[in-house]
Structure 1
Amino acid sequence: MELEHLYGDRVVILNDPFINSILTPFSTEKVEQPHFTEQLKKIYSHLCAFALSRELKTEKVKVATRMSELHPDCPLESEIFDRNQKAVCVDLARAGMIPSQVCYETLNQLLPPVNVRQDHVWAARKVNEKKEVIGTTLDGSKIGGPVTESTVLFPDPMGATGGTLKSVIEYYKENVDGPAKKYLGLHIIITPEFLKRVLEIPDLKIYACRLDRGLSSPEILRSVPGTHWDKERGINKNSYIVPGAGGVGELLNNSYV
């Protein structure tokens, strides 16, 4: 199930009771470790499966089953992921560490492990003395090779301003051999401001569990998302999502800095 919106066909927002039933308590003040991490893993297992089913190539196969000895003329016919394709998961430390690991482990079960890689990028918001976000700092990376013809996944929970994701993809385009086949952003919560910024990247597609635009006027909130995109607001002056879920990276690591 998907949310109706007018942000274009490169944005997919789920409207799924299963995900909502996990994500709603995940967003409240009462959630804490270890339940918080367990919920995050469940959310990303579902989101990753949904996105991969849409984005990876498939092939039709016939295989023998454990019943084939008795019924040799009745093979199993199925459509599975084409095992000749490549994928890269990018861990955007710190909030993206566990989401990326979930996606990486999932891909290793679906494709030959030699075709799957996980990269690591240390990225953080750059803020001024008023705690306002003014940019992104990239402090380092461990990138394991080219991304040529690879589907590159960025599983980053909170899509607030879009600055970090945009900066990291631009870094890959400028510094890592390619080109990639496509870039996918996998997010728990996104905002209209995030979408406006990251969709400047033409080969990026966004998958998200929830759209938050809580600081919009009541009139805007009654409209189909994207109808009045320029008037929609989902982040406060410190670039935190509203209603949001607070600092996910802080909760994941029990480190409130």
Structure 2
Amino acid sequence: MSLQLRVYVPNHPLVKHWLGVARDESTPPVLFRSAMTELGRWLTYEAIRDWLPTMDTTVATPLAPCPASFINPEVPIAIIPILRAGLALMEGTQALLPLAKVYHVGLARNEETLEPSWYLNRLPSQFAPETRVLIPEPMLATGGTIMTVMAELLQRGIDPSLVRIISVVAAPAALQKLGMAHPALNIFSAAIDEGLNEHGFIVPGLGDAGDRTFGTD
């Protein structure tokens, strides 16, 4: 069976509500952060629905033995937020995956060439082959940053079929690049927007998620 990039847009009223709050240019940073936390929570919830490794066992209730399923702690889970904006989703994401290891990466985009360059890479030299990876990246715009991160992960032993990306808004340009290069990926986004403007920003988008999260210009 051929692989094809899967992009999920959850049809959930809370996702729609917090997306609207995040898009609104009049939303102050403190409320914008709340919106991003909630989007991180609900998008992560959708992304890990059939993705977390489980194990079956039996527990004793106060009345009788009962079958039970638990998350398997022996299968490694990694969260890799892309700085700065990826930090905006982390509170909601970590609340659902408290035992996951967090590896930070930072890339800056050249506003003339739109090409990313590394300024922080905390990835280990090698991951265990069964590692599940969740990447919080609020905006998938040109696709340059996420493609660079994916290349690093593949060099370190990550299976793309075990990678899930959560984003608030995604542009067709990024999705097309990811689909061509990594068709086994799964992406969970609150919205797929129309496209990019001449500066490579998503339209209608939500502005610069990093600046709006941290109250900077």
* TM-score (norm. length: structure 2): 0.88
Task: Specify every segment of 5 or more residues in structure 1 that has no aligned partner in the other structure, as ranges.
Answer: 1-7, 214-233
How far apart are the structure 2 equivalents of 1:103 and 1:51? Answer: 10
How far apart are the structure 1 equivalents of 2:153 and 2:47? Answer: 21
One-letter identity of the residue aligned with 2:110: K
Is residue 104 of structure 1 aligned with residue 104 of structure 2? Answer: no
SS in 2 for 1:134: coil
Equivalent residues in 2 for 1:38-117, closer than 5 Å: 38-65=34-61, 68=62, 71=63, 73=64, 75-108=65-98, 113=99, 116-117=100-101
SS in 2 for 1:127: coil
Contact (CA 8 Å) 1:155, 1:185: kept in 2 or not? yes
How far apart are the structure 2 equivalents of 1:179 and 1:248? Answer: 27
Q: Percent identity, aligned pairs only?
A: 24
Equivalent residues in 2 for 1:137-176, closer than 5 Å: 137-144=117-124, 146-148=126-128, 149-174=130-155, 176=156
Please, what is the CA RMSD of the aligned residues? 2.1
Contact (CA 8 Å) 2:141, 2:196: kept in 1 or not? yes
Contact (CA 8 Å) 2:39, 2:92: kept in 1 or not? no
Contact (CA 8 Å) 2:40, 2:91: kept in 1 or not? no
Is residue 34 of structure 1 aligned with residue 30 of structure 2? Answer: yes
How far apart are the structure 1 equivalents of 2:32 and 2:79? Answer: 22
Task: Specify every segment of 5 or more residues in structure 2 that has no aligned partner in the other structure, as ranges.
Answer: none
- The more displaced of 234-243 and 143-152 is 143-152
Q: Considering Cα pairs closer than 8 Å and 6+ residues apart, tell me whether 1 or 2 has the greater RCO.
A: 2
Contact (CA 8 Å) 1:104, 1:118: kept in 2 or not? no
Give the structure with higher Rg (CA).
1
How far apart are the structure 2 equivalents of 1:254 and 1:179? Answer: 35
Which of 105, 109, 113 is 1:121 aligned to?
A: 105
How far apart are the structure 1 equivalents of 2:199 and 2:174? Answer: 14
* TM-score (norm. length: structure 1): 0.75
Q: CA deviation at 1:26?
A: 1.6
Q: Which residue of 1 aligns with 2:168?
A: 188
* C-alpha spacing 1:104/1:237, structure 2 compared with 1 (3 Å): same
Q: Which residue of 2 aligns with 1:22?
A: 18
Contact (CA 8 Å) 2:141, 2:170: kept in 1 or not? yes
